[in-house]
């Protein structure tokens, strides 16, 4: 394998069977990084480049996450970059508030990251170096229609990153949170509404890796969409809800 064109030697990417995670794994490999990729099903991982170490994993299983981290470091060496992207999404209808759906979303999207952190953070802290990152979403910026289960799980990931960053930084471990807008993936294919600034997964992966290479805490894109959403979030609630009603619910 050629020498890395980025700072990392070994990376672990979860949620790597499709979408952004898959593209990040492939692009890191092309940059000379030793890559381990995880997803729930071995069949989907098998379609990746054979140079990638496939590690089937259910991130909701804490013991399995710890075993996976140990296996990867035994096979490839110390993990110096983790991109935790395993996640799920289902739109929520107010006519059917399924508690199990909310629980599944939080267990996979949020606790899945926490479980991997529990496996990785002690190793990186002991070495005094490493880069931990995870994929949240611009949906975590604010509450949005149909995202009542998904949005809170992503907001929790943003808060988690903010909470851990200062202490981890002092101990030599970098934290980054990746907040994509709409990206063409099997998950967003479920949406029945217009998705502004829709991006290709390969473009999202490139922007993610560029941001990680630059050591940015928040990597959010596309920039215009992010700027719009953060401006909307800063509005007083009466104006915020009025705008949501007109722009998303299409009610005048």
Catalytic residue numbers, as ranges: 150
C-alpha 78/C-alpha 72 separation (Å) is 8
| Helical ranges in the chain per DSSP H | 19-30, 42-45, 62-76, 99-105, 112-127, 150-170, 201-213, 223-233, 237-247
What's the token pair of residue 19?
A: 């979408």
Spacing of C-alpha 135 from chain mean position: 1
177 forms beta bridges with: 134, 218
Question: In this structure, are residues 30 and 2 in contact, taking their beta carbons and an 8 Å threshold?
Answer: no
Integer Cα distance of 86 and 181 in angstroms: 16
């Amino acid at each position: 394998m050629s020498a890395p064109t980025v700072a990392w030697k070994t990376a672990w990417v979860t949620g790597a069977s499709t979408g952004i995670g898959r593209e990040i794994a492939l692009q890191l490999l092309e940059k000379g990084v030793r890559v381990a990729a995880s997803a729930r099903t071995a069949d989907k991982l098998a379609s990746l480049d054979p140079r990638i170490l496939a590690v089937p994993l259910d991130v909701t299983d804490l013991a399995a996450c710890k075993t996976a981290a140990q296996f990867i470091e035994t096979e490839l060496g110390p993990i110096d970059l983790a991109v935790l992207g395993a996640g799920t999404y289902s739109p929520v209808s107010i006519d059917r508030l399924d508690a199990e759906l909310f629980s599944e979303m939080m267990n996979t999207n949020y606790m899945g990251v926490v479980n991997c952190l529990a496996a990785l953070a002690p190793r990186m802290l002991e070495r005094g170096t490493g880069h931990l990152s995870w994929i949240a979403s611009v949906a975590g910026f604010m509450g949005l229609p149909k995202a009542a289960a998904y949005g809170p799980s992503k907001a929790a990931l943003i808060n988690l990153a903010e909470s851990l960053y200062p202490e981890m930084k002092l101990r030599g471990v970098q934290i980054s949170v990746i907040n994509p807008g709409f990206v063409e993936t099997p998950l967003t294919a479920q949406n029945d509404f217009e998705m502004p600034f829709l991006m290709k997964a390969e473009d999202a992966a490139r922007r993610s890796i560029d941001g990680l290479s630059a050591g940015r805490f928040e990597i959010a894109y596309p920039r215009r969409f992010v700027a719009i959403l953060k401006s909307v979030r800063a509005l007083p609630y009466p104006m915020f809800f009025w705008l949501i009603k007109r722009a998303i619910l299409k009610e005048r």
